[in-house]
């Protein structure tokens, strides 16, 4: 924890710290029990540790490090009061009634945000109102721990990189490297998801796969059309049902049985 020595006249000596306000605001707002946030007293950076994802020993290591301070987020009760105070500030009576009904019972925070989704102006006013309340809490918390926020140092200007000539080989290598990185990230995310979330992700992945296959077929069909109307379609470019980008196919769309496909008309 930051030291708070007393100088002449008993005045508290504050420690200057370049606070990352955006990250600190997120930490004060997020009061989920599995999320723990820490402020680095030298850099002003905010470290977030999530139970079940981070190293189990990380908490003990950070607790023993005097350069980190635990951030106490704003309680759910206080954030609920913010919603209650904001509702009377809304001009439209119908929206006030919807917001009042939304904060009644469990799931109030999510319903409150859902209602504001279709009211852009009031939604921005809510974000500004909430940020102002968070700022008051953050400044009070910093002052109570003897910390004085200062401007963060600007990153030094970098020389613009020399232009690179993109060749087919370099583009292919770049795409392959990016794909491998994304696959690794996807595997890490999958390890942290539950069965229900994995089912949703799998369904969406099947949808993307089916849409890509449909687009490839459409491209082949256009190419065959330009060859000549008298050419018979090959088995690979024959008539199949296509999926538009605005439709969500079933997860097992590619494994449809022959009976589910369109049959030719009887002669």
Final residue in a domain of this structure, among 104, 134, 152: 152
Mean pLDDT across the stretch 221-236? 49
- How confident is the model over 119-159, as pLDDT tens digits? 999 999 999 999 999 999 999 999 999 999 888 876 655 55
Nearest one of 245, 239, 244, 246 to 261, comparing CA atoms: 239
Is residue 141 domain-shared with residue 19, that is, in the same domain?
yes
CA angle 99, 100, 104 (to 5 degrees): 110
Q: What is the pLDDT of residue 128?
A: 93
CA distance 74 to 136: 11
Examine the domain organization and report whether 132 and 70 are in the same domain. yes
Q: Could you tell me if residue 138 is inside a domain? A: yes
Q: How far apart are the first and last CA of the chain?
A: 86
**What is d(CA 47, CA 171) in angstroms, rounded to the nearest whole number?**
36
Q: Provide the 8-state DSSP code for 82.
A: H
Pair (249, 135) in one structural domain: no
Domain span holding position 231:
184-255
Question: Do residues 80 and 197 share a domain?
Answer: no
Top-confidence residue, 212 or 85: 85
> Does any domain span residue 211?
yes
Phi, psi of 104 (to 5 degrees): -95, 110
When pLDDT is averaged across residues 79-93 and rounded to a whole number, the result is: 94
Which of 14-18, 97-101, 205-209 is the most confident on average? 97-101
Same domain, 196 and 135: no
Q: Residue 257 pLDDT > 70, yes or no? A: no
Structural domain contains residue 113: no
Q: Is residue 40 part of a domain?
A: yes
Domain stops at, among 152, 167, 198: 152
Tell me the mean pLDDT in the region 66-85: 92
| pLDDT above 90 coverage of the chain, percent | 36
* Residues 22 and 78 occupy one common structural domain: yes
Q: Which two tokens stand for residue 237?
A: 């470019």
**Rounded distance between C-alpha atoms, residue 116 and residue 147, angstroms:** 36
Assess whether pLDDT exceeds 60 at residue 229: no
- Domain annotation covers residue 160: no
144 plus 15 within the same structural domain: yes
- Contact of 3 with 15, CB cutoff 8 Å: yes
The domain boundary residue, chosen from 135, 152, 169: 152
The residue behind tokens 């951030």 is 71
The whole-number average pLDDT for the span 14-39 is 90
pLDDT at 235 over 50: no
Residue 173: the pLDDT is 66
pLDDT band at 265 (very low <50, low <70, confident <90, very high): very low
pLDDT band at 113 (very low <50, low <70, confident <90, very high): very high
The mean predicted confidence, pLDDT, of the chain is 74
pLDDT on residue 78: 93
Residues pairing with 90 in the sheet: none
Residue 70 lies in a domain: yes
> Does residue 131 share a domain with residue 24?
yes
pLDDT at 170 over 70: no
Which of 23-32, 101-110, 196-205, 228-237 is least confident? 228-237
Is there a single domain that holds both residue 15 and residue 147?
yes
Q: What angle do CA 210, 211, 216 make, to 5 degrees?
A: 100
Structurally, how many domains does the chain consist of? Answer: 2
- The pLDDT of residue 109 is above 90: yes
Rounded to an integer, the average pLDDT of 209-237 is 55
Residue 147: in which H helix or E strand, if any?
strand 147-149
Residue 206 lies in a domain: yes
* 191 and 249 part of one domain: yes
Q: Are residues 15 and 128 in the same domain?
A: yes
CA 55, 56, 60 angle in degrees (round to 5)? 105
pLDDT value for 31: 87
pLDDT of 267 higher than 70 = no
239 pLDDT more than 50: no
**Within a domain: 168:** no
Q: How far is CA 50 from CA 34, 186, 192, in A?
A: 6, 18, 11
Tell me the pLDDT band of 233, cut-offs 50, 70 and 90: very low
Same domain assignment for residues 141 and 233: no
More confident: 222 or 116: 116
> What distance lies between CA 95 and its chain's CA centroid?
27
């Amino acid at each position: 924890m930051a030291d708070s020595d007393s100088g002449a006249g008993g005045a508290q000596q504050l420690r200057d710290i370049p606070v990352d306000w955006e990250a600190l605001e997120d930490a004060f707002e997020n009061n989920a029990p599995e999320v723990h946030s820490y402020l680095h007293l030298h850099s002003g950076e905010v470290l977030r540790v999530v139970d079940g994802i981070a190293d189990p020993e990380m908490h003990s290591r950070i607790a023993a490090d005097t350069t980190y301070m635990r951030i106490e987020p704003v309680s759910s009760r206080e954030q609920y009061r913010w919603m209650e105070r904001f509702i009377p500030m809304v001009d439209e009576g119908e929206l006030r009634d919807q917001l009042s009904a939304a904060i009644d019972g469990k799931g109030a925070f999510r319903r409150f945000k859902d209602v504001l989704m279709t009211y852009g102006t009031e939604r921005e006013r809510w974000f500004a109102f909430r940020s102002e309340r968070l700022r008051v809490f953050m400044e009070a918390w910093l002052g109570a721990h003897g910390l004085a926020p200062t401007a963060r140092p600007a990153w030094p200007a970098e020389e613009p990189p020399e232009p690179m000539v993109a060749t087919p080989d370099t583009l292919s290598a770049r795409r392959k490297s990016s794909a491998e990185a994304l696959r690794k990230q996807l595997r890490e995310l999958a390890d942290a998801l539950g069965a229900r979330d994995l089912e949703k992700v799998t369904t969406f992945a099947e949808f993307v796969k089916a849409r890509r296959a449909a687009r490839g077929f459409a491209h082949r069909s256009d190419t065959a059309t330009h060859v000549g109307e008298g050419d018979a379609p090959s088995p690979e470019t024959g008539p199949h049902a296509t999926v538009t980008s605005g439709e969500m196919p079933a997860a097992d769309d590619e494994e449809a049985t022959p009976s589910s496909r369109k049959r030719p008309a009887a002669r």
